Amino acid sequence: QVQLQESGPGLVKPSEDLSLICTVSGGSVTSEKSYWSWIRQTPGGGLEWIGHIYYSGNTNYNPSLKSRVTMSIDASKKQFSLTLRSVTAADTAIYYCARDNGYPNNWFDPWGQGTLVTVSS
Amino acid sequence: DIQMTQSPSTLSASVGDRVTITCRASQSISSWLAWYQQKPGQAPKVLIYKASTLQSGVPSRFSGSGSGTEFTLTISSLQPDDFATYYCQQYHSYYSFGQGTKLEIK
């Protein structure tokens, strides 16, 4: 059974870049059915999809964040990553990685446990 | 982008009650809707997808209905483990979530 685990710094300074990695176990990131997503949850509880990446490297990003987001994938390490540039306090959130199984199964399952990232000087 | 609006934001109920949560989309999303349950300190867990299909392992007291712009999640008889926050999510165009409904013990 596929499991996901996020890792990265818990504290980032304003204007710097936030970088996170998701490690996949129990399955392959090269599954043709799977898209690998990043989702964040603000302190108020709202959930926001950030974007996803396919094993080929093709990406789709939330238009509201597109100018600041880059995702990449390393199949050999069974990892995919998120970089969010020029962060502000509004980027403080729990960041989750998750899988969606592509059209028409585009719901998220499973999710990682999440990692809290705080933006503060 | 598609906005998802849930109601109510908070719902107080007792064990054994039947409860319904509503989710409305700002435009038609056909049946491309999922429901999630989230407990404190945990990631969301999918309960229902394609508006009414129960995810494997989810108790049958959970059910979903609707299409187009209006959807409901119903719990037929609340159990103690069901007190949590529930989110809807559309996957018709990109992905977006409702703001959540917190189900509290009355």
Q: Hey, of B95, B96, B103, B104, which one would you mutate to test binding to chain A, going by the most A CBs within 10 A of its CB?
A: B95
Q: Which pLDDT score is estimated for A111?
A: 98
Higher-scoring residue by pLDDT: B28, A102: B28
How many inter-chain contacts (A to B, CB under 8 Å) are there?
54
Q: Which pLDDT score is estimated for A50?
A: 98
pLDDT, one tens digit per residue, over B24-47 is 999 999 999 999 999 999 999 999
- A41 Cα to chain B: minimum distance (Å): 10
Contacts of A98 in chain B (CB under 8 A): 43
Is residue A14 over pLDDT 90?
yes
DSSP H helix total and E strand total for chain A:
0, 11
State mean pLDDT over A26-49: 94
Say if the Cβ atoms of B96 and A49 lie within 8 Å.
yes
Is residue B64 over pLDDT 90?
yes
The span from the CA of A88 to the CA of B35, in Å, is 30
DSSP string, B18-51: -EEEEEEESS--TT-EEEEEE-TTS--EEEEETT
The span from the CA of A42 to the CA of A45, in Å, is 5
Q: Which of B84, B60, B62, B81 is nearest to B73 (CA)?
A: B62
Q: Which pLDDT score is estimated for B65?
A: 98
| pLDDT grade for A102, boundaries at 50, 70 and 90 | confident
Is residue A105 over pLDDT 90?
no
